[in-house]
Amino acid sequence: MKKWKPDLSPSEFQTVLQSETHPHAMPRWEQPGLQSGAWYWDGNDPFVRIPWRRFPGPDGTKIWGQCIKAHDTHLKIIKGIHPQHNSILDVGAYDGIWSWLFAAERKVALDVCQESLERWAAIHATEIVCEDGGNIGKLYKPNEFDVVFLIDVLEHMKATSALKAIYAAEGIAKYQIVIATPDGWWPFDDWQSIVTEGSDVPCAELMAHKSGWTHEFFEDRGYEVIIQPGLHNDLGMGDGFVAFLNK
Residues 141-151: pLDDT tens digits? 999 999 999 99
Q: Give the Cα separation of 226 and 143 in Å (integer).
A: 25
Residue 170 pLDDT greater than 80, yes or no: yes
Strands 127-130 and 106-111: parallel
**pTM of the predicted model, to two decimals?**
0.87
- On average, the pLDDT of the chain sits at 85
**What is the end-to-end Cα distance of the chain in Å, rounded?**
41
Closest C-alpha to 241, from 146, 150, 158: 150
Q: Contact at 8 Å (CB) between 247 and 240?
A: no
Domain boundaries, the chain: 10-70, 72-246
Q: Give the Cα separation of 139 and 169 in Å (integer).
A: 11
Which residues neighbour 22 within 8 Å (Cβ) at sequence distance 6 or greater?
Answer: none
- The topology (CATH level 3) of 72-246 is Rossmann fold (3.40.50)
Q: Give the Cα separation of 94 and 163 in Å (integer).
A: 19
Phi, psi of 92 (to 5 degrees): 70, 40
Which residue would you say has higher pLDDT here, 153 or 197?
Answer: 153
pLDDT at residue 25, as a whole number = 80
Q: What is the mean pLDDT of residues 186-193?
A: 75
